[in-house]
Structure 1
Amino acid sequence: MGFSKDLRGVRQLWERFNAGLVDVEACRTPYHRLLLDEWRRCTALGVDVAMSRGRRLDDAAFRQRREAEQLLLETSVPIVQDVAHYLQDVPGIMILAERTGTVLHITGNPRVRERAAAHSGIVVGSEWTEGAAGTNGMGTALSMGRPVHVFATEHFCERWHAWSCAAAPIFDTDGRTVLGIIDFTTVESDFRDQALGLAVSVANSIQARMALHRELERRRLLSSFSETVRHYPHDDVLALDPLGRPVMHTPSERCRQIAERWRHGSADAADRVQSRTEVRAPGTGACIGSIVLLARPAGYQKVFRPDERPPPVAAAEPVTRFGEFATGDAETRRMLEDLRRIAAADVNLLIIGETGTGKELLARHVHACSRRSHEPYLAVNCGAISAELMESSFFGYVKGAFSGADPRGRAGYFESARGGTLFLDEVGELPAAMQAALLRVLEDGSFQRVGSCETRTATCRIIAATHRDLGQLIAQGRFRQDLYFRLKVVQRTIKPLRERPGDIRLLAEQFAQSLGLKHGVAAPTLTPDAHAALARYPWPGNARELRNAIEVATLAADGCIDTGCLPPEVLRGGSDGATAGPDPALARPAESLASLREIERQIIVGMLRKYRQVSVVAQRLGLARSTLYRKFAELDIRQAEFLGSAPDPAADEPPPQR
């Protein structure tokens, strides 16, 4: 890399080197000195210059390495295959190798692939480190930790002189650890200047997707850490990444010192472990880290006076997590275990549940756990599309299909989802004409764009959801029974929050943690009175309503959520005539608007109590002061009642009216 290629000169240098006629010190050009250093290292490693085929691992060893690199494979192969579509006319192959130089995947021109296998043994399972095959694209990029282009006679082994190899390393998020290699190999006579840029670009794309996976793994690990800390509030806990490096620890000085020693590989740090629990990724089951509970120091004993001894704590129900959906309810936990198996089965799924119970959370994670996870996930609210645009939205349209259409035509939802997942939310709202149109697609996957006679094929998986009773709609003639049976190959129902009261506390604490991060404040704790008020309320809006209530309380609280921070309707405990589980579609607009205004008023009042200055409240809410004063008038908020003895400075006076 960085040197002009000199095929004839390098050929002569290679021949003289192998004849023992070249002195490295006498070479004048940096390019030749670099090549001679590479070749001398290969000689020292014992590489046979006359070897004719790459060394292939036995099946058991290759299977072990492949299983260890499942994340790299699942992340890289879709990207490599997408790039390969654009290289159909280019005589070359793209190779993915893992961190030890073993080839995991090859794609590209079939003739070049056959020649590479027959001529040089470049096949899946072959090993291409410098120690195994001398100077070559994959091995040298792995050895040097940077992109390289090894052209023709620059290879150490004569058999590889027929190839031009451009390779780039795939780095982990630390920018130093090499996870694998992307190599673009062509025949020597088809040398292309863009080959190295292509390899670097593909490697960067894989790195970006790997970084996303790492961040998701990190968040799951930290979630497990927080869960452990809640269960062991008086103990020291460490979260370790897959390589055993500390990621987070409890704030005690002792734990900080142990984490430092652990980071530097001190043996005595490992001796302090009381228990160690592995955290595994959903779907693949790969280990993404571990949670370590440290043993208490010698002589530790917590002493209680007789009147201070804590009451016995009832054993907590085990918590099952399915993506962001968490529950301790036994029946719901069984449903989540069913969904883990259903995710891999690749069948249509119908999810029934009241509004706000988390139907889309489940749908998203079913997609993430399925074989389609590398393809798009597309969510569509069937109740938000007008009947006139329904067909063109789902199936797309061609140029000139109707007045006002995009002159280039447009793909519909079924095309845009490709081989991924199409989530049809509120499927019970579909009009009769669209129900009939969907039947054909769900039967054999075929459809036509509006204005076209060309038949296209949908390959996506369908997950549908509704809060309505489809059996009742069928009896009323408002939903087709044949469509219902096509959608519900598998059907699961989510219990409303009021029927799993044990989840209210779990979700409230989870929301307090996440919303604290969202708003940049310390995660608040909930008092026993606040928990009792939450438990009394029937939650007609389910988990979504609970999240909104905790968000209001988080903004109004000062590190601790008490009953005064909760919305008024929660404090009333549903005793004002609200029925459990109302259908939001039947709510009157005036009632919905009044509820929204009350929530808005509660947020502003809570911020005034906390910060006691209008300028600060406006800044925290992202509003202009003039807008905030207008809100005071609309919501009947008397500023002076909440500022008390710390009135606003003169700068906070309302702007003059014009």
Structure 2
Amino acid sequence: MTTVGAPSAVLLRMREHLLDTGDFSETQTLRPEIAGSWRRCVMNGLSPDVAAQPEAGSVNPDGVLARVARGVLSKRAEQLAGTATGLLVADRTGVVVDRWTGDEGLAKLLDTSGSDRGWLLDEGIAGTNGIGTVLEELKPVQIIGAEHFTDAFHPFACVGVPIRHPISRRLVGVLNMTCRVEDTNSLLLPFALETAHEIERRLYLGSSRKERLLLERFLQVHKRSNHPVVVLNDQVIIKNPAADRITDEIEQALLWEHASRAIRTASTIEIDMPLRSGRLVRVRCSTVEDGGVPIGAVVEIPAGIATPQARVITPPTTGRTPLAGLAGNSPAWRQACSQAQRVTHNQAPMLVVGPPGTGKLALVRALFAEDDRGGRLTVCDATLQPLEGAAAWLTGVRAAMASPDRIVVLRRIDALESVVVRALCGLMDAAVEGGARLIGTVSAVDDLTGPHRELSDRLSVINVAVPSLRDRLDDLPALLAALTQRHAPGDPPRWQADAVQTLSRLDYPANVRELENIVRRVLLARPIGDIRATDLPEELRGRAPRRRLTLLEQIECDAILAAVRRSNGNKSEAAETLGISRATLYRKTRAYGVDLGSTAY
């Protein structure tokens, strides 16, 4: 592994090799945070010598972070006066909100790289840098000279440190300390850490009494246990690392509904809630009070929670087109198709990995379209094994494996019974060379244990990763067109930009399968003509605001839509039912991106 600040010539040669060949093997000698950043830069299609500057962002000078940063940087300026160093503070999106430099020459150099107030230093735009890379890594990062991916930052050495909200511990920004490469010294990191800590301390002093009381309660509960703990109200969410898995495993709206009820009723509520895996966990919601007045809730899951599915990371590829018959041309989808195409004629077993509903079987069918048309592709669906019986199902698999020119797809291997999995492993071990090619599909490899893991190991000689729909939203227009043509052949309706934009803001736990269900629902109501946002089902529009809502905001938005629906569109009646003014109802719906005027009830 290279040390901090490896020679520029070595790094430049390594970068050129990476760009010429797409081979990431040499980057393994880089520090992990630099190698990871370079990988992301290549996947984003960044050119290191492109003349374009980072895109200009917007700065709110009266924002909390900007106000606090001005005071802290002013204090630090006294300590750094006369030194060739600079301090930058950026918000959580990577926009620089304040900057101080102690050297005019350094200030001009920073200007030429776009490192000034109002400039966006997101890694996807500016490459490896002491702000954008910190936002990706979520930890302190030191970058020196040619470790920066783009040439514009090569003159600098910098350290970036995350700034977290002192109550919720959510990332609110980045503190960056920069100097010229030749002025690099070991004091950059401790000074940057101290400055970031001072910003966090001042943010805490500016917090409300409610926020401080919620933090105290969180620390009390967290100290006596290691299970998932969340403390929240309508403005603050504080959680420990174990609770991060909650949002992946539990239906969020239901969880926060019980938390809200605990706050309203000043009571403790216990309920068994289902995980996405099907298991049940006991959730306890209790009230946080200030002088007898409820101000928030504590959510605890004493029995713990399942480990979330891990993402399969695969190297980027270039130069190939998506498979015929499959909609989409996004980088993530092209990468998956290209990766699959490279191994089409290899007879080794293959494992296709991706979340449910992403189109794993569709990709396999497209990959072996000629075999599929010729009847040489057999799909053995594991979910049918309990219906057919283990012996009959295995007999079918064995017969298919005996055909030398056949492709056998073992679909959803994670659904198989353990005894069947062991038998499959035996069949694979006993298979003669030249038999059928085996391909398995599975939602997540890291969730497999015991014999299921052994089977996946046998199949994963070749791995193909299929991205989730959220990772290929650029394909949404193409997918909508293809799905509409499938269910409304001939002259299908056309999806307008506002409808596509609304759908792009949704989460898709069931991925393309869920999108297909939405298309079918919309086509029932709008079989011809243009499909606009107002043609989408009401609950979808409520789930798709102009911005990402907090969990409690989503609950409130749903409640408003339900009240307006019950009142048949009478806003005054709905506001009275909710206990708010008509003006407040309009203000909240505008903030949530809901257009009540264009909704039919």
Could you tell me the TM-score, scaled by structure 2's length? 0.36
Larger radius of gyration: 1
Answer 1 or 2: higher relative contact order, Cα 8 Å, separation at least 6: 2
